Amino acid sequence: MATYEKGVLPDPEKEAAREVQPAPAYDTEGRTASVVFKNEEFQKLSFWTRNGLNLESFKRREGYDTTNQLNQTMKSRHLHMIAIGGSIGAGFFVGSGSALSKGGPGALLIDFGIIGVMMFNVVYALGELAIMYPVSGGFYTYSTRFIDPSWGFAMGWNYVFQWAIVLPLELTVAAITVGYWDSDISVAVWITVFLVVIVFINIWGVLGYAEEEFWSSILKLSATIIFMIICLVMVCGGGPSEGIYSEYWGARNWYNPGAFANGFKGVCAVFVTAAFAFSGTELVGLAAAEASNPVRQLPGAIKQVFWRITLFYILGLFFVGLLIPYDDENLLGANPYVSVDASPFVLVGKYAGLKGFDSFMNVVIMLSVISIGMSGVYGGSRTLTALAEQDYAPKIFAYVDKSGRPLPSTAAICIFGVLAYVNLTSDGPTVFDWLLALSGLAALFTWGSICLAHIRFRAAWKYQGHTLDEIPFKAVGGVAGSYLGLFLIVLVLIAQFYIALFPLGGETSAENFFKSYLALPIVMLFWVCGYFWKRTGWLTIATIDVDSGRRHLDLDQVRADNAERALWPAWKRILNLMF
């Protein structure tokens, strides 16, 4: 790796002598020649081959670069819906019930608000990096490039296993949701049905996932909006006479039983549930690698995160805290992910006397958790493929067929779905708790790495004489926002460490500790394995390469656009940040 003198641009002749990946050329719409070639060649294929419905489509794709063999055909509407509704699933609809019982409505708002602020900065930092460096499997590649190749190895495998373990968790919740209507049919039957559905949709490749996410996100967002409107009516006392909300309800639950359960420890205990609920928010950055024009599509999708955090998480859970007391017996349970009755979204409909609303919300929950299962297969398989392309995983996982599907990687993640059946055995709940412990904090390490990679990218960018005007899309909070995000992540890890040592209603033990904090030793193990595999150390600012593979745009046009925006009135600049 070359070392650059501070404030001095690299010498062109020296750079030409270095063996670096050439920067891709971009057309006037921000697409690489590779993207145009892929799309043109893809459209020449037959309908059956494009959609993966004949044997020819399963053959290896030849004649494409190895840095991103995936189909880059995802549309703006897909990215927008993945950003605004992609991660709404069991953590939000079901896990919020457990969080309410542990911390109370006050803790619910504080913890989800803190995680929301953190995610706002994480996603913007990711958006800046993804537009500057359009590569597949971006989360771990940015850690490799700007932090440490060994740490990048750890983050890549951490992300793969995070989604591989989330898949059986979501399958189990979906199967148990059906038991709300008919408990006579074995959960194993529904796990099998939903796993087959997930495998079938993934046969259709990226567009199958994108279309499923588009429509399921519309359903989730519509249901949440309907829920909030109904809650507003219930709070004002407009509920049916058969229910408990037929008179003015107001904020009585904030006074009795109160705003906080279990005090400070309760606030700390809710953090991990909030983090689990936000898992998948970063998928919009991963999906950018398969977008047809990420320069134009990704910024708008990134900005939608603000609305999801504000309207759907914070406001939705605020109404939950108003209508359901934290000491409600239906919220209590050892494992909220195996009891869909614990969902406060279902309880509101039952208590209000709204016939059929509880069933409606259960349908939404079922489809939502299946959607997150889809995201698990998508996110895990794409990251595993990227690891293989960079020699961080066995080469078999670099296989991509003519329809743009990473078949071995997809199959590997889907195999983890069979772990959902362990919940049917006598020791199943214990095994399931350990699986949940593996995935509970994994996302925090991914988010922290994104913030740190952005901080170090900006430092290296400045060190090598570049200016902010050369960055086409800048994070709203800049480096300060990434520092804030990183600080909040460390804060959450400390809070969870405290709960691991002193659990709610339990005794301090090695088992309880590792059930709450197992992700840390797993990440450290991956980091050590990465070090012995690659034998690399922590990168210095002077050795970070910010030029190879960078998206080169018309800088004069970028500066002109920035100058034009600077002349806008304040209200227009604020709206541009949000939309």
- The mean pLDDT of the chain is 77
Lookup result for tokens 């659990």: 503
Distances (CA, A) of 493 to 269, 273, 442, 500, 546: 11, 12, 11, 10, 30
The answer to whether 491 and 36 are in contact (CB under 8 A) is no
DSSP symbols for 47-108: HHHHTT-SGGGGSBP-SS-SS--S---B-HHHHHHHHHHTT-SHHHHTHHHHHHHHHHHHHH
Predicted model pTM:
0.82
pLDDT confidence tier of residue 16, bands split at 50, 70 and 90: very low
Say yes or no to pLDDT of 402 above 50.
Answer: yes
Ordered by where they begin, the domains of the chain are 12-578 (1.20.1740.10)
Give mean pLDDT, residues 42-65. 53
pLDDT confidence tier of residue 263, bands split at 50, 70 and 90: confident
The answer to whether 285 and 123 are in contact (CB under 8 A) is yes
pLDDT confidence tier of residue 107, bands split at 50, 70 and 90: very high
Q: Select the highest-mean-pLDDT range: 5-9, 262-266, 545-549, 564-568.
A: 262-266
pLDDT confidence tier of residue 392, bands split at 50, 70 and 90: confident
Helices (H), 204-281: 205-235, 252-253, 263-278
Distances (CA, A) of 547 to 2, 98, 143, 466, 538: 11, 47, 16, 10, 19
- Give pLDDT tens digits for 132-150: 887 665 678 888 889 988 9
Please confirm whether the linkage preceding 429 is cis (ω < 30° from 0).
Answer: no
- Give pLDDT tens digits for 201-247: 877 766 677 777 788 888 888 888 899 999 999 999 988 888 899 88
Exposure of 332 by Cβ count < 10 A (0-12 exposed, 13-18 middle, 19+ buried)? Answer: middle
CA angle at 137 for the pair 134 and 143, rounded to the nearest 5°: 90
* Percent of residues, the chain, with pLDDT higher than 70: 71
Residue 331's pLDDT is: 76
